[in-house]
Amino acid sequence: MKLPGAKIVLECIKREGVDIIFGLPGGAVLPIYDALYDFEGLRHILVRQEAAAGHAAEGYARATGKVGVCLVTSGPACTNLVTALQDAMMDSIPIVAFTGQVPTHLIGNDAFQEADNVGITRSATKHNFLVKDGKDLGPIIREAFHIAATGRPGPVHVDLPKDILVKEAELIWPEKVTMRSYNPNYEGHAGQIKRAAKAMLRAKKPVLYVGGGVISSNAHAELRELAELTQIPVTTTLMGLGAFPSEHPLSIEMLGMHGTYYANMAVHHSDVLVAVGARFDDRVTGRVDAFAPHAEIIHIDIDPSSISKNIKVDVPIVGDCRRVLRALVEAVREEAKAGGDGQEGQKPWHAQIAEWKVKEPLRYEWSDDVIKPQYVIQEISNATRGEAMIVTGVGQHQMWAAQYYKFTHPRAWFTSGGLGTMGYGLPTAMGVQAAHPGRHVVNIDGDGSFAMNSQELATCFVEKLPVKTVIINNSGHGMVRQWQRIIYKERYCAIDLPGIPDWVKLAEAYGCVGLRVTKPSEVVPAIEKMLSTPAPVVLDVCVDKDECVFPMVPAGGANTDMILAPPTREVRDRAEKSQTGF
């Protein structure tokens, strides 16, 4: 069957099970948009800037577990998209990005809107393709989706010259993808799994350190079974939030630069550390020579290049998290039958962790006069009962959301972890909302981060995506201000955003609902109104601009070098009473 290349592209995308494409048209991809005019089975969501198409595809992919798809034109459209591709690369998000390209005979001639898309995106993608013949469209698109979704997931880029989209070609659709040079290993080594099981059972101070790979592989049930079977405390990375319930008795919440005191102390003093689907990035480890210095380290990951890359491990296990955890549960059961379950020896460890939790909980000083950002997150968590889909931008608000929102399920937390992309929140929330139209999707953003893609409010309105955005508005780039305050001796430079624009008026200009609160007493009613409004909403929350994120590990420090929150009034009063005897 011969079809124009543009129709082959759409037919292949549809056969991959795609139902939504995020994109923005331009000259080089107009043949695809013309074919899309009367093509059935695909919804197209028109974004206002190309990076937003990539982030929306990320949100869709993370929310569904399927491959997200974006489509943009040539030249500047592709260069705009690069940030989203690198973001997906760092956080292992499966998307396929289609870009337009000048006709093949003009490639290399500096034609209008020409860029070396393949060269530009090579380091920002898991793989990329330049289609040179229409008959290769089907096999290339098939391979692109296969590569994006398998092994360690990631973005794949397909560059489409305009003449390839216009000419007719045979639609070739391979039923099976076979690539000699690409064969991810899914089954962990049985002997290594047995070693891991033995180490876990003999440990006196074990910790499970869980990353986003557990969510990517849908291994949350197996993780919980292993944790409850062994009674090992669980800490998660920023990307791993939701893989294990925040309020489970074994949860010690997030570790790392802005992790909890008790998670960082537990990892530091552990004797066996089991890393599952995590890559020991610098925000987690702090100074590497001081990270878990006494622990035997077990590392489970599908990407062999991640193992012993940053931290040398003792028991490497290459494989899919879900399959390996399932095998590890069985291995633990078998070893426990032979030599005891090891839980009795862990009682002092659990007592120590409980003591750390009491000594240094997450805390902030309440005020009747000014809104504390942590309080806003807590009330969003309470109002949604931990059931909302939470998206963030990047900055202080991101860390407060990670600390104070209580997650109960996986695929409910969407943030830019590895790249730290400001402006990520709103477009990603659009992709999440498109995937789950009946769910509450709340974008917790900062005034600095939200400004970078606020134009996508137009997309939310036109496409009927009722995303709720809560701006934690501290009138500036808060995380930079925090660093300048603590590290650079209050030499504040280039951080102020003095109330421009008026977010309520901007929301209304885009057809959305705008709300603003300035007092603590207004927060809960405003959240309730926001959640009950069947339209896109922007809630501007004017918070204490001097509030900092604690704990905080300074750059170059060990995780035990945490700067902790000052004692609250309640703690100070309790200490004073204990000293005076009253």
Of the pLDDT bands very low, low, confident and very high (cuts 50, 70, 90), residue 207 is very high
Of the pLDDT bands very low, low, confident and very high (cuts 50, 70, 90), residue 582 is very low
Q: DSSP 3-state assignment of 525?
A: helix
Nearest residue to 301 (alpha-carbon basis) of 289, 288, 310, 292: 310
Of the pLDDT bands very low, low, confident and very high (cuts 50, 70, 90), residue 301 is very high
Q: Which helix (DSSP H) or strand (DSSP E) does residue 15 occupy?
A: helix 5-15
- Asked if the domains 190-359 and 373-549 are classified in one and the same CATH topology, the answer is yes
- Of these residues, 1, 2, 112, 334, which one is catalytic? 112
Token representation of residue 520: 């603590």
For the segment(s) 2-170, the CATH number from 3.40.50.970, 3.40.50.1370, 3.10.310.30, 3.60.40.10 is 3.40.50.970
Contact 278, 570 (CB under 8 A): no
What DSSP string runs through 460-488? HHHTT---EEEEEE-SB-HHHHHHHHHTS
Residue 62 CA from chain centroid, whole number? 8
Say which residue, 343 or 4, is predicted with more confidence.
4
Q: DSSP 3-state assignment of 38?
A: coil
Judged against a pLDDT cut of 90, whether residue 466 lies above it is answered with yes
- Of these residues, 14, 39, 113, 545, which one is catalytic? 113
Question: What pLDDT shows up at residue 339?
Answer: 73
Mean pLDDT of 421-449: 98
Of the pLDDT bands very low, low, confident and very high (cuts 50, 70, 90), residue 1 is confident
CATH number, domain 190-359: 3.40.50.1220
Tens digit of each residue's pLDDT (9 = 90 or more) over 318-348: 999 999 999 999 999 999 988 766 677 899 9
- Of these residues, 479, 530, 552, 562, which one is catalytic? 479
Percent of the chain surpassing pLDDT 70 = 97
Question: What pLDDT shows up at residue 580?
Answer: 47
Token representation of residue 445: 């953003």
Residue 50 among the catalytic residues: yes
SS (H, E, C) 208-262: EEECCHHHHCCCHHHHHHHHHHHCCCEEECCCCCCCCCCCCCCEEEECCCCCCHH
Q: What is the reported pTM?
A: 0.96
Q: Which residues pair with 130 in a beta bridge?
A: 159
Question: What pLDDT shows up at residue 341?
Answer: 64
What DSSP string runs through 287-356? SGGGSSTT-EEEEEES-GGGTTTSS--SEEEES-HHHHHHHHHHHHHHHHHHH--S-GGGHHHHHHHHHH
The residue written with tokens 């405003």 in the block is: 526
Query: Average pLDDT over the chain, rounded to whole?
Result: 96
Mean pLDDT of 344-360: 95
Contact 403, 547 (CB under 8 A): no
Of the pLDDT bands very low, low, confident and very high (cuts 50, 70, 90), residue 243 is very high
- Residue 54: half-sphere exposure toward Cβ, Cα within 13 Å: 34
Tens digit of each residue's pLDDT (9 = 90 or more) over 556-566: 999 999 999 99
Token representation of residue 446: 């900062």
In angstroms, the Cα distances linking 402 to 266, 381, 391 are 19, 11, 10
Mean pLDDT of 57-62: 98
- Of these residues, 7, 11, 16, 50, which one is catalytic? 50
Domain chopping of the chain, boundaries: 2-170, 190-359, 373-549
Question: What pLDDT shows up at residue 364?
Answer: 97
Mean pLDDT of 181-205: 96
Residue 162 among the catalytic residues: yes
Q: Which residues pair with 52 in a beta bridge?
A: none
- Of these residues, 126, 162, 205, 372, which one is catalytic? 162
Residue 396 among the catalytic residues: no
Ramachandran angles phi, psi of 116, nearest 5°: -80, 75
Question: What pLDDT shows up at residue 394?
Answer: 98
Tens digit of each residue's pLDDT (9 = 90 or more) over 505-534: 999 999 999 999 999 999 999 999 999 999
Integer distance in angstroms from the first to the last C-alpha of the chain? 89
Residue 347 among the catalytic residues: no
Question: What pLDDT shows up at residue 574?
Answer: 57
CATH number, domain 373-549: 3.40.50.970
Question: What pLDDT shows up at residue 569?
Answer: 77
Contact 281, 257 (CB under 8 A): no
Counts of helices then strands in the chain (DSSP H, E): 23, 20
β-strands 168-170, 2-4 pairing: antiparallel
Residue 582 among the catalytic residues: no
Of the pLDDT bands very low, low, confident and very high (cuts 50, 70, 90), residue 576 is low
